[in-house]
């Protein structure tokens, strides 16, 4: 296999964190259309060279990008309708209801009710475009190793009114070959439709990534360590997970009590059977890395520490308190990855309870870790999140998608006296103090959430860990994107050698 270049880590860079769903747009959700390209233009013009985003997979209950129906598929809601109209796949005028959508929050139910019928109409028309039909067939061949099982899974899920897969009739839940073949014949149109949605996602995303790369922008994607229990991955490969005879998890993932929660976080994802994974040469993971590196330039591995040791919670526990640490695949896993795929452009999300063993795993493979400024102002001068303690090989953030915005954090959580004393710039707003500090640091990369560039309060927070509803909804308006202080951001990038 061809090795991926690590040249992305060869110089200082700066960038912004913004999930595509948070982009402006007329149809209730950010997409891969014109606003995404305008966003790329703004990044390039302001000396930025990184666009970091959350996972792009198809979301399930709660619309969390960290709980997707597949580790390989894309979210069809990111497909841009006007682009389909330009290609002749939509006959009707799109302008009828577009102004009815909330411009600052994604109403997922309304968006789905509006978008999916139009995507279905595009599916019915696309076969009349010969060159697109040929491209679709080529896509299906190239992506068959995951696409076939995903499309079948989604068709089965629809036929079972959205029920989780282990609640389906036994022949379908247990993947009886004869039953699945019969279902596939009877629902061929629905399966083709699911493949078509992935084709549209892939086609538009690759065009956008090509546009960004041509502007000097590297895409930083996000790879969650775990997959959802209700996913094509677990359904199609139950032997790779810790499941009981009914298909339910024996133990689930999470983290012990920490900064975010007194009872920890019970994520509920099934845990991997790492011994079985090893026996199969970590093939599923190697394919997952290959897919991620086709989508992104750099990959942030969420919950990296789980590869060294992970928190295993009995499935019948309601909180994460009564879990235990279990050794992960560690060096053996990453040695296999490096042997097969070369040195990967990976950022290790190493937040939370980090041990010397986790640090050694990260450092032995030369992976940059993460430093979050909002964590810097508790404790003494040896706090590892204070910029004077940063190693060069790390990524500095003002905050992440799991943090409050910097303005909200400063108003509600921060030791304001300690923050002001360390930053020592009373003439700047708190968000710009923090942006300046991250940009000026010795960290290889600096990344700022767009909410901080805009100086927004807690209402613009993307996610509150431990809360199942109300997250992942924030959107930036067109006016906010236009009026953001891009010149000030560019001046910082130039001053501190990141432009």
CA atoms within 13 Å, Cβ hemisphere of 392: 4
Under a CB-based contact definition with an 8 Å cutoff, are residues 490 and 45 in contact?
Answer: yes
Per-residue DSSP letters for 296-341? Answer: -SEEEEETGGGGTEEEEEETT-SSSTT-EEEE--HHHHHHHHHHHH
Per-residue DSSP letters for 233-250? Answer: HHHH-GGGB-B-TTS-BS
DSSP, res 85: H
What is the number of other CB atoms lying within 10 angstroms of the CB of residue 293?
20
419-426 LR contacts (CB < 8 Å, sep 24+): 419/377, 422/376, 422/377, 422/386
Residues 6+ apart with CB under 8 A from 334: 307, 361, 364, 365
Out of 190, 349, 404, 431, pick the active-site residue: 349
CA 41 – CA 35 distance, rounded (Å) = 10
CA 388 – CA 391 distance, rounded (Å) = 9
Burial label, 44 (beta-carbon count in 10 A; 0-12, 13-18, 19+): middle
Under a CB-based contact definition with an 8 Å cutoff, are residues 344 and 299 in contact?
Answer: yes
Out of 402, 404, 437, 452, pick the active-site residue: 402
List, in sequence order, every residue forming a beta bridge with 116; answer none if it has no partner: none
Out of 26, 190, 233, 302, pick the active-site residue: 302
CA 17 – CA 222 distance, rounded (Å) = 11
| Residue 402 annotated to the active site | yes
| Residue 485 annotated to the active site | no
| Residue 302 annotated to the active site | yes
DSSP, res 95: T
* Residues forming the active site: 302, 349, 402
């Amino acid at each position: 296999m061809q090795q991926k270049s690590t040249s992305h880590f060869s110089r200082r860079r700066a960038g912004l964190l913004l999930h595509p769903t948070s982009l402006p747009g007329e149809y209730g959700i950010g997409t891969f259309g014109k606003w995404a390209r305008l966003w790329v233009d703004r990044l390039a013009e302001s000396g930025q060279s990184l666009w970091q985003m959350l996972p792009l997979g198809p979301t399930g209950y709660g619309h969390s990008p960290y709980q997707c129906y597949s580790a390989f598929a894309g979210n069809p809601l990111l497909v841009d309708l006007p682009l389909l109209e330009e290609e002749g796949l939509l006959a009707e005028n799109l302008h009828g209801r577009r102004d009815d959508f909330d411009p600052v929050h994604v109403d997922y139910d309304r968006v789905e009710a509006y978008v999916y019928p139009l995507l279905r109409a595009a599916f019915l028309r696309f076969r009349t475009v010969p060159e697109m039909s040929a491209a679709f067939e080529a896509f299906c061949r190239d992506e068959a190793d995951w696409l076939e099982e995903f499309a079948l899974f989604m068709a089965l899920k629809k036929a079972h009114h959205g029920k989780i897969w282990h609640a389906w009739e036994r022949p379908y839940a247990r993947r009886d070959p004869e039953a699945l073949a019969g279902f596939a014949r009877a629902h061929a149109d629905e399966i083709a439709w699911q493949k078509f949605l992935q084709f549209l996602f892939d086609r538009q995303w690759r065009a956008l990534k090509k546009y960004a790369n041509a502007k000097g922008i590297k895409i930083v994607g996000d790879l969650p360590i775990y997959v959802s229990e209700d996913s094509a991955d677990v359904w199609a490969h139950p032997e790779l997970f810790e499941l009981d005879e009914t298909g339910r998890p024996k133990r689930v993932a999470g983290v012990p009590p920490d900064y975010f929660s007194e009872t920890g976080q019970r994520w509920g994802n099934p845990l991997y059977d790492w011994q079985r994974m090893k026996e199969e040469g970590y093939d599923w993971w190697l394919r997952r890395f290959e897919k991620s590196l086709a989508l992104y330039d750099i990959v942030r591995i969420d919950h990296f520490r789980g590869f060294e040791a992970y928190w295993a919670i009995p499935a019948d526990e309601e909180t994460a308190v009564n879990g235990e640490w279990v050794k992960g695949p560690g060096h053996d896993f990453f040695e296999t990855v490096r042997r097969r795929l070369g040195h990967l452009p990976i950022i290790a999300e190493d937040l939370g309870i980090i041990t010397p063993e986790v640090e050694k795993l990260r450092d032995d493979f030369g992976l940059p870790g993460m430093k979050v400024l909002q964590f810097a102002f508790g404790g003494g001068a040896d706090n590892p999140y204070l910029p004077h303690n940063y190693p060069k090989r790390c990524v500095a953030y003002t905050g992440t998608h799991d943090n409050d915005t910097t303005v909200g954090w400063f108003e509600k959580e921060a030791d304001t006296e300690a923050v002001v004393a360390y930053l020592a710039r009373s003439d700047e707003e708190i968000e710009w103090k923090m942006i300046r500090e991250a940009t000026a640091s010795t960290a290889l990369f600096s990344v700022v959430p767009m909410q901080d560039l805009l100086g927004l309060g807690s209402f613009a927070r993307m996610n509150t860990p431990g809360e199942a509803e109300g997250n992942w909804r924030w959107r930036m308006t067109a006016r906010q994107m236009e009026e953001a202080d891009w010149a000030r951001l560019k001046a910082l990038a130039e001053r501190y050698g990141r432009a």
